[in-house]
C-alpha cells in the first residue's frame, strides 16, 4: 500500500481530501494525510479539503493547521457543485 500511495503522491499536483470520521480513524489515511501536508508545505495551495459529516471541532482536533483552511462542506454543496468547483480550479491552474 505504501508504495502505491507514494507513487500517487509523487505524481500529484494537488490533493482532494475528504475528511470524515472514518478518514480520521484509519492508520493509512493518517499517514497519507501527513505526506500530503508535507507536500503542501512545499507546493503551497496543494490540499483541497472537503468536510463530510464532520464538525469544525473534530477537524480542529484532527489537524489544527487544516481546520482553518477554506474547505467545502458536503452538507452545503452537492457532489456536482463540488466537482464543478474542482474542474474550475484545475482549469485556472492549467491556464491561469
Distance CA 91, CA 85 (A): 10
- Set of cell numbers at residue 45: 495551495
Distance CA 38, CA 36 (A): 5
Distance CA 96, CA 81 (A): 21
32, 61, 76, 88: which is the annotated catalytic residue? 32
DSSP state letter for 44: S
Catalytic status, residue 21: no
Catalytic residues: 32
Amino acid at each position: 500500500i505504501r508504495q502505491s500511495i507514494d507513487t500517487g503522491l509523487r505524481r500529484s499536483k494537488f490533493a482532494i481530501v475528504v475528511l470524515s470520521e472514518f478518514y480520521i480513524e484509519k492508520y493509512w489515511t493518517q499517514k497519507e494525510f501527513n505526506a500530503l501536508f508535507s507536500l503542501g508545505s512545499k507546493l503551497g495551495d496543494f490540499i483541497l479539503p472537503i468536510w463530510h459529516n464532520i464538525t469544525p471541532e473534530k477537524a480542529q482536533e484532527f489537524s489544527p493547521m487544516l481546520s482553518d483552511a477554506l474547505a467545502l462542506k458536503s452538507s452545503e454543496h452537492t457532489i456536482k457543485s463540488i466537482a464543478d468547483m474542482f474542474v474550475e480550479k484545475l482549469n485556472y491552474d492549467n491556464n491561469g
